[in-house]
Structure 1
Amino acid sequence: MSPETDDRRSLGARAAVGAALEHPLVGLHRRRTALTVTYLLGLTATFLLSYVGARLPVDDAVLQTLTTGLDTLSLVFIAVVTPTILVVPLVSAAWNGGPGLSALVPVVPVALGDIIAGAYVLDLDVAIALTVCPSAAALALVSADVRRTGSLRFWRSGVDEDRLLFVTAIAIVTAVGVGRFVSTAPSYMLEWYAPMGGYWLVTATVVGSYWLAAVRSTWRTDDSHAAADS
């Protein structure tokens, strides 16, 4: 294989990665998207090292220094989990748009726990992650359109139906999952979950407003066509 072929493949791979990082569902700015992806990869690596490393014997015994280091990694992961689920998705959405990546952020920590446990359990942590997920996606939708139009009245310039359908699908799927949790969870868990209702209010307001704007835009288009034909 010639060096020129390797160079072409390398350039092609870089172009593909760059295009993926700039996809509207992922983010608006390549560097910001790459930073968010790096954060998630670092979180995953921290979890895997702390979990797997603590279970690998060194000469039939875990060395004290190794144990201390892995315990530190575990503490770091635990400390980062809560903001990753509750805060980071909203910050990422407002900072860089990208409803797909923003929706993924709160799911990663709980998914890691379920993968390691070898079972999917619709518990409180999963319900909270599924609640933040559509809210972050909705906020990312607004953030991207505000930047695109340069105005808080972004709906006047039209609605991107593909992105709206994507966010709506996320909202519906997660709502079904949370609905299953609410229908089966004990009362004390529902009390802990109750403060998360504000996230659903954000999701419903944004998605509902977008669909209302889309319907109004369709009506205006139909009226203009009817006037032109008359």
Structure 2
Amino acid sequence: MSKRPAQPDSTADEEFVPDVEPRGWGQSVVHHPLFGVHPRRTVAAVATIVGLAALNLASLYVSGAGPGERVQSLGPAFDSFTAFVIVVSLLVVAVGPLAYACWNGGPALSFVFALVPWLVGETLAFRWVLDVDLAVSLTTGVAGAALALVVGEIRRTGSMRPWRARSPPTPVALFVGCATVGSFALVGRFLASAPGGQTDAYLPFAVYWVVTLAVAGAYVASWANRRRSR
């Protein structure tokens, strides 16, 4: 009985292709769940944050005010531009974190959205004050981070109650936890020492804590139930 000639192994000379393409530092950032679910949306959000910072810088640059100096009126055109920047900044602080959280998840960028106007203003003024602006930014920012955690986990697990499915990635849970505790402590300190006028200005934004505490309560309760069931 004749033997058939051995067939050459066609896979021996095939080039190995890894399952996951190596990513550079920038690609790793935009693909990380801390920053968003969809990389293109993450890049768009970063560009928006940079643009907002540039808008605030332009407002101060046009005024000619130096570090720590008060911005003076330079005419109707300048006043209109300054008013426009203020309105845009207020909208970003009030709506930006929650809007980005619903759009793309990403707790870190949701949190940063609220802090950009305050960071630019305080850095150029060479002062870091726990005032009503920072208290509002922390409140809306941490609410956006908490909501972004839920949105990201819904898309990752496919469950509308992701806190019951499994624990979120450690970096995401750690960031949201630290942001929540730190923001709560700073806002509490502000409310304990601020004058009545600033406290009254902050109170309408206290409703954002409903989002933060609801998310935190859901995950803590789910974690406690899993601990008891073991």
TM range (shorter): 0.7 to 0.9
| Equivalent-residue separation in structure 2 for 1:212 and 1:105 (angstroms) | 29
1:175 to 164, 175, 184: 184
1:62 equivalent in structure 2: none
Q: Which runs of 5+ in 1 are unaligned?
A: 1-11, 57-65, 223-230
Q: Which residue of 2 aligns with 1:160?
A: 168
1:26 and 1:99 in contact (8 A); partners too = yes
Deviation at 1:72, TM superposition (A): 5.6
Match of 1:23 among 32, 36, 40: 32
Q: Distance in 1 between matches of 2:59 and 2:109?
A: 25
Q: CA 1:77/1:125 → structure 2, altered by over 3 Å: closer, same or farther?
A: same
Distance in structure 2 (CA, Å) of the matches to 1:18 and 1:197: 36
Count of matched residue positions in the alignment of Structure 1 and Structure 2: 200
Q: Is the 8 A contact 2:118 2:137 kept in 1?
A: yes
CA distance in 1, matches of 2:63, 2:131: 26
Corresponding residue for residue 70 of structure 2: none
1:205-220 aligned at under 5 Å gives the runs 205-220=214-229
Higher helix share: 1
Q: What residue identity is the alignment partner of 1:205? A: A
SS at match of 2:24: helix
Find the aligned partners of 2:52 and 2:120 in 1 and give their Cα distance.
10
- The question of whether the paired residues in 1 share the 8 Å contact of 2:159 and 2:165 is answered with no
Larger Rg: 2
- How far apart are the structure 1 equivalents of 2:163 and 2:181? 22
Q: Could you tell me which amino acid in structure 2 is paired with residue 22 of structure 1?
A: H
Scaled by the length of structure 1, the TM-score of the pair is: 0.79
CA 194–75 in structure 1, closer or farther in 2 if over 3 Å, else same: closer
How far off its partner does 1:68 sit? 7.9
Query: Which of 123, 130, 134 does residue 115 from structure 1 map onto?
Result: 123
Aligned mates of 1:17, 1:153 — CA distance in 2: 31
Retained in 2: the 8 A contact 1:25–1:100?
Answer: yes
> Following superposition of structure 1 onto structure 2, how do residues 69-108 of structure 1 map, counting pairs within 5 Å?
73-108=81-116
One of 47, 58, 66 as aligned partner of 1:49: 58
Supply the RMSD in Å over aligned alpha carbons. Answer: 2.2
Aligned 8 A contact 1:27 1:97 in 2: yes
**In 2, Cα distance between equivalents of 1:196 and 1:47:** 23
Q: Which blocks of at least 5 consecutive residues in structure 2 are unaligned?
A: 1-21, 66-73
CA deviations 1:96-141 (Å, max 9, x no partner) are 1111111111011111111111101111111100111211110000
Question: Which of 205, 208, 212 pairs up with 1:199?
Answer: 208
User: Within 2, Cα distance between the matches of 1:16 and 1:50?
Assistant: 33
Sequence identity percentage: 37
| Separation in structure 2 between the aligned mates of residue 188 and residue 54 of structure 1, nearest angstrom | 28
3-state SS of the aligned residue for 1:182? helix
Change (3 A) 1:72 1:189: closer
Query: 2:71 is matched with which residue?
Result: none
1:136-176 deviation per Cα after TM superposition (whole angstroms, max 9, x unaligned):
11000010111112231222321126222321110110111
Does the CA-based 8 Å contact 2:30-2:43 persist in structure 1? Answer: yes
8 Å contact from structure 2 (residues 94, 140) kept in 1: yes
Q: Could you tell me how far 1:88 is from its partner in structure 2?
A: 0.9
1:69 Cα deviation from its structure 2 partner: 7.2
Are 1:150 and 2:158 matched, yes or no? Answer: yes
TM-aligned CA deviation for residue 79 of structure 1: 2.1
The equivalent of 1:60 in structure 2 is: none
1: CA distance, partners of 2:129 / 2:163: 39
Normalised by the size of structure 2, how large is the TM-score? Answer: 0.79
